[in-house]
């Protein structure tokens, strides 16, 4: 019997760590559904990248239901084997200086919290049936200050095992 192809939803795949993660898991036979604010790039050479990409702005929480519905439509067996919440932002000041509460306003805080924390919980909640059907994993990618300042966004979610690239 042939093994079922495994599906991953990976946010923030257009560059950096997310881009590298797509390359690794794709080389191991995974099918990756990618999310970022950018539309599909014609320069992208991944097989089936066009059909795999979903354009969404995670700062806008009203887009999450449509995102989850699109993911559901693209899962052939209703099973999602991994959700990797990799998209993350850390707005910087002049010369990449760190921004604090005194130098920013509530719009910036809301944007950061929505992308880095709230959207991750909403996506996980919306796709929990598909994750449970696959006994899938949820992976969070956080910078240390976020980990230290937020009340553990990982603990309410279920992450039974790490998604092995094998």
Number of shown-chain residues binding ligand NAP (CB under 6 A): 23
80 within 8 A of 9, measured Cβ to Cβ = yes
Rounded distance between C-alpha atoms, residue 30 and residue 50, angstroms: 16
Name the one range near ligand NAP by CB under 6 A: 11-19, 122-130, 147-155, 156-164.
Answer: 11-19
153 binds ligand NAP (CB under 6 A): no
The neighbour count for residue 78, using CB atoms within 10 Å, is 11
Q: Which of 30, 71, 88, 117 binds ligand NAP (CB under 6 A)?
A: 88
Which of 142, 133, 132 has its CA nearest to residue 157?
A: 132
At residue 82, what are phi and psi to the nearest 5 degrees? -160, 140
17 binds ligand NAP (CB under 6 A): yes
Instruction: Please report, as residue ranges, which positions from 133 to 152 form the binding site for ligand NAP (by CB under 6 A).
Output: 141-143
37 binds ligand NAP (CB under 6 A): yes
């Amino acid at each position: 019997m042939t093994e079922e192809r495994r599906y991953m939803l990976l946010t923030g795949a257009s560059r950096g760590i997310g881009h590298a993660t797509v390359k690794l898991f794709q080389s191991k036979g995974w099918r990756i559904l990618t999310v970022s604010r950018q539309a599909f790039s014609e320069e992208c050479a991944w097989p089936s990248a066009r059909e795999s990409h979903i354009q969404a702005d995670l700062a806008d929480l009203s887009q999450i239901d449509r995102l989850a519905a699109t993911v559901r439509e693209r899962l052939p067996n209703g099973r999602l084997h991994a959700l990797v919440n990799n998209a993350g932002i850390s707005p910087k000041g002049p010369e990449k200086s760190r921004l604090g509460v005194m130098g920013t306003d509530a719009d910036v805080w809301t944007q950061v919290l929505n992308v880095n924390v709230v959207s991750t919980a909403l996506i996980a909640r919306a796709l929990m049936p598909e994750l449970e059907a696959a006994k899938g994993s949820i992976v969070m990618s956080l910078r240390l200050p976020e980990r230290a300042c937020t009340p553990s966004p990982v603990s309410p979610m279920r992450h039974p095992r790490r998604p092995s690239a094998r």
